[in-house]
């Protein structure tokens, strides 16, 4: 029996204090992980072998034949979409960008359906932020706006924000205040010192009112919140020693979307005239920040990047996976480390069902049901090593804990890339 400390490859917290007992390359016990971590490390129906659809039926195939089928689909497409990437390593993503460039396709990630508007807001105003370590050591006021970490990031409050003892917050929870802003009561709001229930779609107005109140203006009732409460809240924010505002898709996907985020950042920037205040998106998939980082280094843009003209172009709303599927432009798809069939709108799903789909995933999913080529892969962070970015943009090395015998995502993408180049030019890269 062996015990190793590992990084949990589930959510953007990337908790690095999880322990597991390993017996004969199997995880038999998990310590420190939350319920989501335990579910990821111990369950899920695996894809056991490569499968290729022949005459409408998925049949077992050799790995080499599956690679050839996938490469042929991509080479013969005029607008292939390569989507997912948020649950795999930065090294795999880097190879994926090279593959997209070779086939003149579009590479998009799950940001386009979650924190894409955050990235657009950040393009406009920048991001006054810090690491989660700084929040832990310094913050005395925590705000969760449009998110429910008790369920989505179960250890966020205990490891980084509300509860831990920090260098300048020796008494942890006793020295911090929690404010939750949401449209409904949640398990997170039940823990809050103050819960502000706003009318749906009115976040932008409330940020504007808070900014006006900060400047000493009298504000009316806004977003269902009384004028007095807004004024008191603005004073509370102003008087904090170190405040941290965390926001989720409740903010990015409602009302003014990226303008909400822009205004939230503007409020944070305004607060820095009086005190120290930071803001951070609550990233969901464990490496969704990594895919934004790697895409930005290599192409200049964080998601929805189109290589159809041989150079990267960026126009969210036009080159994202959903846009291309809904408009009928995409004529093949490679899906890696995500399950769009379970999450995309119906019209995108209908379009996905009509085109050849290649999927790379350790587990069976709804997307694998409609795929034409399926590759089983090792679980990055458990069965394969790699790099991932925590939600505060800190890169963390994921270690391999057990040996599964499956190919890694990076190996599969590299093999498809080699085969694509061979088909295009008769030589390997």
Using CB under 6 A, list all residues that contact ligand SF4: 8, 10-11, 13-15, 33-34, 36-37, 153-155
Shortest spacing between CB 292 and ligand SF4, in angstroms: 18
CB of 157 to ligand SF4, least distance (A): 10
- For 52, 356, 375, the CA distances from 372, given in Å and listed in that order, are 6, 6, 10
Give yes or no for a contact between 407 and 384, defined as CB atoms under 8 angstroms apart.
no
CB of 392 to ligand SF4, least distance (A): 13
Q: Which is nearer to ligand SF4, 8 or 417 (CB)?
A: 8
If the CB atoms of residues 68 and 289 are measured against ligand SF4, the closer one turns out to be 289
Answer positive or negative: Cα dihedral of 242, 296, 71, 341. Answer: positive
The strands making up 305-306's β-sheet, listed across from edge to edge, are: 57-60, 51-54, 373-375, 357-360, 332-336, 80-84, 106-109, 305-306, 313-314
Note the Cα 325 to chain centre separation in Å.
Answer: 21
Closest contact distance (angstroms) between CB of 298 and ligand SF4 is 26
Task: Between 33 and 84, name the residue whose CB sits nearer to ligand SF4.
Answer: 33
Which is closer to ligand SF4, CB of 272 or CB of 397?
397
Q: Cβ of residue 141: shortest distance to ligand SF4, in angstroms?
A: 22
Sign of CA dihedral 38, 40, 43, 48: negative
- Rounded-to-integer distance, Cα 381 and Cα 322, Å: 28
- Give, in order, the Cα–Cα distances in Å from 159 to each of 16, 29, 173: 10, 21, 11
Write down the least CB distance from residue 312 to ligand SF4, Å.
Answer: 31
Best CA proximity match to 87, nearest among 343, 354, 352: 343
Closest distance to ligand SF4 from the beta carbon of 362 (Å): 16
User: Smallest distance from the beta carbon of 177 to ligand SF4, in angstroms?
Assistant: 22
Dig out the tokens for 417 from the structure.
Answer: 């890339």
Pick the closer one to ligand SF4 by CB: 10 or 344: 10
Beta bridge partners of 58: 53
Residue whose tokens read 């590992």: 6
Nearest to 200 by CA among 247, 145, 255: 255
Kindly tell me which of 13 and 141 has the beta carbon lying closer to ligand SF4: 13
DSSP letters for 380-398: BTTTB-EEEE-TTS-EEEE
Closest to ligand SF4 by CB, 19 or 311? 19
| Helix-helix angle 116-125:258-271, to 10 degrees | 50
């Amino acid at each position: 029996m062996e015990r190793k400390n590992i990084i949990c490859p589930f959510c953007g917290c990337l908790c690095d204090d999880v322990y597991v007992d390993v017996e004969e390359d199997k995880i038999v016990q998990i310590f420190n992980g939350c319920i989501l971590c335990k579910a990821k490390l111990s369950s899920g129906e695996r894809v056991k072998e490569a499968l290729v659809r022949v005459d409408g039926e998925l049949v077992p195939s050799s790995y080499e034949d599956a690679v050839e089928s996938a490469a042929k689909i991509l080479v013969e497409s005029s607008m292939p979409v390569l989507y997912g990437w948020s649950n795999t390593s930065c090294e795999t993503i880097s190879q994926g960008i090279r593959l997209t460039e070779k086939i003149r396709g579009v590479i998009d990630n799950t940001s386009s359906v979650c924190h894409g508007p955050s990235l657009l807001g950040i393009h406009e105003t920048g991001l006054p932020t810090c690491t989660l370590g700084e929040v832990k050591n310094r913050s005395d006021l925590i705000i969760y706006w449009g998110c429910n970490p008790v369920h989505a990031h179960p250890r966020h409050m205990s490891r980084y924000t509300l509860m831990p003892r920090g260098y300048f917050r020796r008494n942890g929870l006793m020295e911090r205040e929690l404010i939750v802003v949401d449209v409904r009561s949640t398990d997170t709001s039940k823990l809050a010192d103050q819960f502000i229930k706003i009318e749906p779609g009115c976040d932008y107005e409330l940020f504007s009112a808070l900014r006006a109140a900060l400047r000493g203006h009298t504000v009316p009732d806004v977003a269902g919140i009384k004028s007095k409460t807004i004024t008191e809240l603005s004073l509370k924010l102003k008087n904090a020693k170190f405040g941290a505002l965390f926001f989720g898709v409740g903010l990015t996907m409602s009302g003014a979307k990226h303008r909400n985020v822009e205004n939230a950042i503007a409020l944070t920037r305004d607060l820095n005239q009086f005190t120290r205040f930071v803001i951070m998106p609550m990233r969901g998939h464990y490496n969704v920040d990594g895919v934004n980082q790697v895409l930005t280094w290599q192409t200049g843009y964080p998601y929805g990047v189109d290589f159809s003209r041989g150079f990267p172009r960026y126009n969210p709303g036009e080159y994202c996976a959903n846009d291309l599927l809904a408009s009928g432009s995409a004529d093949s798809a490679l899906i890696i480390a995500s399950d769009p069939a379970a999450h995309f709108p119906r019209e995108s799903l209908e379009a996905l069902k009509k085109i050849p789909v290649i999927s790379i995933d350790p587990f069976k999913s709804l997307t694998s049901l409609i795929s034409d080529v399926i590759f089983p892969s090792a679980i990055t962070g458990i069965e394969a090593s790699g790099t991932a970015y925590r939600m505060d943009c800190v890169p963390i090395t994921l270690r391999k804990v057990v040996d599964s015998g499956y190919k890694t995502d990076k190996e599969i993408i590299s093999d498809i890339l080699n085969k694509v180049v061979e088909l295009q030019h008769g030589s390997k890269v």
